[in-house]
Structure formats: structure tokens, C-alpha cells
A and B are shown apart, each in its own frame.
Chain A
Amino acid sequence: MAEKFDVIVVGAGMAGNAAAYTLAKGGLKVLQIERGETPGSKNVQGAILYSDAIEKIIPDFRDDAPLERHLIEQRVWVLDDSSYVGTHYRSEDFNKPPYNRYTIIRAHFDQWFNKKAREAGALTICETTVTELLLDGKKVVGVMTDRKGGEIYADAVILADGVNSRLATKAGFHPEIKPKDVALAVKEIHFLPQETIEARFNIGEEEGVVIEMAGTISDGMMGTAFLYTNKESITLGIGCMLSDFKKQKTTPYELLDKMKQHPSIAPLIEGGEMKEYAAHLIPEGGYNAVPQVYGDGWLIAGDAGMFVNGIHREGSNLAMTTGMLAAQTLVELKQAGKAFTAPNLAQYKAKLDDSFVMKDLKKYRRMPDIFHKNKQFFTTYPELISKAAQKLIRVDGVDKKTKEKEIKQSFVASRSVFGLIGDAFRFWRAME
């Protein structure tokens, strides 16, 4: 292929589509390369769409994007083996358009998003794997693909190739991912009649519920689980850090099936027909794991750059925003007649630092380390909290003062007074 492009975007996920769309709108000649059969066929997410991020790219996305349900209720559950203690927040304010969050099915959404990029002028080729970057010295000048005569050239390449970030690793831009910086999540989608879902979750047509979970379901590992309502299906999954998975003998699918059998979860998916099982890594290393994200002729966006806010379960919005900012950087340089050199592309990093992306990652920079070293937040505390709640609620002739004393003693016995104070401090430091 002798044809040369302004920019090649590798990947048609959230970051890649946001980048391709923004570049095409900016008048650049853009080629997007996707290894899946269609955009979305290799992509896995829970999935929740945050309106704000997509709105900044396609303001009228609600007109035709495939959306499942807008979310009116958020549940946070702490589970032990037989119970959950939770907070539920439901508000009619979330039931007024424009809606803030939606559940989506990625295979459907990504096709829509990519169609928008193509309509804006991007050229997308699917079923094509980029095998490596073409370098001239330190400068990226194009990509090698697995097609015949597979070299394609461009002035810049945006690497939106996902969490495994193979191209940057192979080119030596950053080392292999560490097990402590990624979570392995497995999930299933269960189909149920729309009315059943709406009755089970006490919701109307198009209204949705999210349940985020932590506790003994992660089997002592640092991890969380989720359950989301779609229009005619429920997705549920569980993810734990790979460094923890590495040290134990429960398989990911055993963990998922144990979660499905939990007495608080099983009734919610009862009678559903499982139609797909998926697995995916989530970059959860946070601020300190973000690699160098630009250089001569290259930029990294989305999961490939570790742009995920683990504590708030945000990733797709960071992917879209970083894809958009990478593209905007190139559009501005092109318009100013400037080359895509590393010093010029440093503007991408400046944009990231100035956005919620790096501000949020920085705020929680201590979180991964603190949770890695303090597994009691996933083991001891869920059980203590559950037992305390049960003690207070169960009426059995024991006076309340004695019950309170017993609860206090159970906490001290498990963690000691200094342990409790230390844990409170650690939790505060993680969230500070």
C-alpha cells in the first residue's frame, strides 16, 4: 500500500472510535484498523456508558445510539457468604432527561460509534491485526499488518489497542504489564423477559439498576463484582487482581459461579438464559502505572495507557476522553503546520493533566497499594459488618447495650484497637 495517511488509529473500542471520529471531523486523513470481524467483536465491558464523555464528542448521541437502560438506582453491597449490607440510592432526579448514565452492550454500541466515525470521514478496515509499529530510528512512521503487503504509513499512530498494549510493549515504549496492575474480570450475560427484569428490580420501562459488590465473594482477593440491568438481559461479573489470582487455586469461572449462587444474587438471575461468557483484563494500577503516553509519531489512549479509575468503576469515559484529547492534539498541530514530534505531542500530556482523567487518577494514587497490602477490607470487615447488622436487627431478648458491646468487642478482637485506627487511616489515605 503506497497510500499514506495523516494518522493511523489502532483499535475500534471507545478510545479508538473517539480518536477516529475527532480526527475525521478535524479534517485529517485517518485510517482505523480493527482486528475483530466488526468493531466491538473483541471488546468487553460491564457495561455502563457515562453520558458526559460521549456528549463532548457526539452531543446528540441519544438520537440513535443503542442504549439499554438509563440508571435510576445505584446499590453498593458488602457481602459475606450468607448476607449483604448495602446502601441503595434511587432518585427521581436520575429519571429526568438528559440521563446521566446508561447500561450498554458493547458489541452494539461500538458498531454505532464506529459508524459515526466513518460518516465523519474516517476509513475503517476490520479483520486486520496490526503486528508491529514501523519505526524510523525512534520515530513511528506506520504499522505492519497481517494483510498482504501489510505496511501502511502515516505521520502519527494512535495506539488504542487495549489493555494488553502489545504494540507499545513490542516497540519498547514501556515494559510488560505487571500482575499487580491488572484485574481479571469474568462475566456472563443472562437473558430474561423485560417484564421480569422490571418486576424484580422495581423499575419501569427503560429504567435501570446497578449493583456494585465487594466482600467474601472475592475469596480473600482484592476484587469487586457487579450486576447491571439491560433491556432484556442482566450482565454480572467479578474481577480480582491478577497478582492475587496468581497466589490461589480457585479458577475465575468457579469464582463467578459461586457468586451466581450467593443467596442475595441467585434470585435476581433465576430463570435467565446465559448467552455469553467473557473475560477481560482491567488496568487498575492507577496513576503510578500510567506509562509514557507519547513520543515521536505516537500517542497512547484508553486502556493501553492504563486510564482507568478503579475506585469509581470508570474506564470507558476515560478511554473516550483520552482518545478525543489525543486526536485534538494532532488536529491542532496539523492546523498550525507543526510536525508530530515528541516535544509537540507533549501537548497531549498537558491536556491529560488538565482534565479529570489525570486529576482523578492522581487523587487515588495511593489506593491500589493500600488495598493490595490490606486484604482485611475484602475479608474481615465484610463479615464483621454483616454480623454487627444481624446482631442489631435480630430480636432475641438480649438488651441493646449488651449487643453494642458485643459488636465493639468483635471488631477489637478481629483487628485490635490500633488495627482499627490504622485501617480507618489507611482507608482515608486511599480515598484522600
Chain B
Amino acid sequence: MLKVEEKLFQDRYRVDSGRPHIQIKDGEICTHKCAEQQCTVCCPAGCYTQEGNGKVVLIADGCLECGTCRIICDEHRNLEWEWPRGGFGILFKFG
């Protein structure tokens, strides 16, 4: 199984500790109403993981700020999605 962490390790971030810019609105919706949980497949930084009990856990520290998760969550609109505060988040060296 390919580890995306090895790729993200090359990237430069300034993490806004304790202030995640993306949050799941209602975890119950992910667990009980979303069969596919495609955020766990489509996020290019692997920020979303499936827990054994059907829960989806989001850790946004490695976020590449693409917007994929927000756009594919079009059935439930279950994300609070904002840009990180100015100067925080991914800082591309090359882009």
C-alpha cells in the first residue's frame, strides 16, 4: 500500500495548530448516511481516513488546499471549508 505521507514529507507547511481550516459538520452523517465516503479515496493528501466503526476522521494538517473534498461532498454538504489563515497551510516551493 502506497503511503502518501512519503510524498507529503517533501512538502513545506506552516500548520495553524489547533485551528483546522476544514471541519466535518456532523460526523453522524458520514457514519450513517454516506455509503461511499469518497473523501477517503479522492483526497490527494489522504487527510480523510475510514475508521473501523464507520467513522470518517479528518486530519487537515497535510492538506494541499485543492478543494476536492468540498466539491465531491455534494450530496450531504457536510464540510465547513475555509482557506487557512493568511500565511498558513501549504507553501509550495515550486508549485
Interface residues of A (CB under 8 A from B): 35-37, 40-45, 47, 105-108, 110, 126-129, 131, 145-147, 163-164, 166, 176-179, 182, 184, 186, 188-189, 233, 235, 242, 245-246, 248-254, 257, 274-281
Contact check, B10 vs A249: say whether CB atoms are below 8 A apart. no
Count of A-B contacts with CB under 8 A?
A: 140
CB-based contact B86/A279 at 8 Å: no
- Cβ–Cβ < 8 Å partners of A248 in chain B: 41
Most buried by B among A233, A249, A278: A278
User: B71 in the interface, Cβ–Cβ < 8 Å?
Assistant: yes
Inter-chain contact B71/A277, CB cutoff 8 Å: no
Which residues of chain A have C-beta atoms less than 8 A from B82's C-beta?
A: 131, 166
Q: In the complex, which residues of chain A have a beta carbon less than 8 angstroms from the beta carbon of B36?
A: 246
A168 to B: closest C-beta gap in Å: 14
Show 22 A/B contacts (Cβ-Cβ < 8 Å), sorted by A. A36-B87, A37-B87, A37-B91, A40-B92, A42-B90, A106-B95, A126-B86, A126-B87, A127-B87, A164-B70, A166-B82, A166-B83, A178-B71, A179-B72, A182-B71, A184-B66, A186-B44, A235-B94, A257-B2, A278-B95, A279-B44, A281-B71
CA–CA, A164 and B45, complex, Å: 17
**Given the complex, which residues of A lie within 8 Å of B10, measured CB to CB?**
274-277
Most buried by B among A128, A179, A254: A179
Q: A176-B71, A253-B4 are in contact. Are A276 and B42 (CB under 8 A)?
A: no
A125 to chain B, nearest CB (A): 9
B12 to chain A, nearest CB (A): 8
| CA gap between A108 and B93 in the complex, in Å | 8
- Besides A45-B95, A233-B94, A246-B38, 20 new A-B residue pairs in contact (Cβ under 8 A), listed by A number: A42-B91, A43-B95, A44-B92, A47-B95, A105-B94, A106-B94, A106-B95, A126-B87, A177-B71, A179-B71, A186-B44, A189-B94, A245-B42, A246-B36, A253-B2, A254-B2, A275-B94, A277-B8, A278-B95, A279-B64
Q: How far is the CA of A146 from the CA of B64 in the complex (A)?
A: 20
Chain B residues with CB under 8 Å of chain A are 2, 4, 7-8, 10-11, 14, 36, 38, 41-42, 44-46, 64-68, 70-72, 74, 82-87, 89-95
With A107-B93, A245-B72 known as contacts, the answer to whether A277 contacts B67 (CB < 8 A) is no
B93, chain A: closest CB distance, angstroms: 6
| Chief secondary structure at chain B's binding surface | loop
Q: Which of B2, B84, B87 has the most CB of A within 10 A?
A: B87
CA distance in complex: A233, B94 (Å):
11
Q: Which residues of A contact B45 (CB under 8 A)?
A: 279
A276 touching B86 in the complex, CB below 8 Å, given contacts A184-B42, A184-B68, A252-B44:
no
| CA of A107 to CA of B44, assembled, Å | 20
Partner of B7, one of A147, A176, A274: A274
CB-CB under 8 A from B89, the residues of chain A are 42
Specify which chain A residues have a CB less than 8 angstroms from the CB of B71 in the assembled complex.
176-179, 182, 242, 281
> Nearest 5 A-B pairs (CB), nearest first?
A127-B87, A279-B44, A106-B95, A277-B7, A127-B86
Interface pair A278/B86, CB less than 8 Å apart = no
Q: How far is the CB of B2 from chain A (nearest CB, A)?
A: 6
Residue of A nearest to B7 (CB): A277
Docked CA distance A188–B93 (Å): 12
A145 to B72 CA separation, bound complex (whole angstroms): 27
Asked if B92 contacts A278 (CB within 8 A), the reply is yes
Q: How far is the CB of A275 from chain B (nearest CB, A)?
A: 6
User: Once the chains are docked, how many angstroms separate the CA of A106 from the CA of B95?
Assistant: 6
- A41 contacts which chain B residues (CB < 8 A)? 91-92, 95
In the assembly, what is the distance between CA of A41 and CA of B92, in Å?
A: 5
Q: How far is the CA of A46 from the CA of B73 in the complex (A)?
A: 27
